[in-house]
Amino acid sequence: MDDRDGVLYSGPYMMNSKSVIVKMWNADFDFNDDGLKTIPLWIQFPNLPLNCWEDDSLSIIGSTLGVPLYADACTKKVECIAYARILVEIDIIRPLPKQIMVEDPNGREFEQEVWYDWMPMYCNKCLQLGHVCREPQNKAMPKQQKGRYQKPQQLWKKIRH
């Protein structure tokens, strides 16, 4: 169990600069369902008051975004107080909120900023993760000024040694 949790919660994992999503297997997993709708995302709560850093409080705050799974080691040990960081399984079909309303253990409400370690692209048109379908682009060449040659933009600069 410890090894499994270490792999699941140590991410995010990258391969060729692309995120690899690691989820726990369950008996109801369907290989034919190619629609990935919920994924675990690491979320940071910058400047979260310290009285909200208990496991119960972080779980309640995380549940406003999805299903809270785990708090990172720095958050559990309160080693870095700039932000609290938790892993939450989020429905990526919905827009990811940048702010949420939080009530601290004393009953005080405040607006909490939400940062994501990685924000996935999700295409609502074809219901796929990793891209966004765009309208077909007009392949016609841009009009040039009459009688004038338009020099292409230089991409590389010469470096003098």
Q: What is the 3-state secondary structure (H, E, C) of 81-94?
A: CCEEEEEEEEECCC
Confidence of residue 83 (pLDDT cuts 50, 70, 90): very high
Q: Which residues contact 7 (CB under 8 A, 6 or more apart)?
A: 22
d(CA 24, CA 142): 50
The model carries a pTM of 0.64
**CA 86 – CA 45 distance, rounded (Å):** 9
Whether the pLDDT of residue 138 is over 60: the answer is: no
Write out pLDDT tens, residues 20-61.
Answer: 767 777 787 776 665 567 888 889 999 999 999 999 999 999
Give whole-number Cα distances, 144 to 67, 129, 147, 149, 151, in Å.
55, 38, 8, 7, 10
The closest alpha carbon to 129, from 137, 138, 139, 120, belongs to 120
- Examine the pLDDT at 158 and tell me if it is beyond 70: no
Q: Of the given ranges (65-69, 72-76, 115-119, 126-130), which has the lowest mean pLDDT?
A: 126-130
Judged by DSSP in three states, 160 sits in coil
What is the chain's length?
161
Token digits of residue 147? 């009688």
Q: Which is more confidently placed, 5 or 154?
A: 5
Q: What is the mean pLDDT of the chain?
A: 77
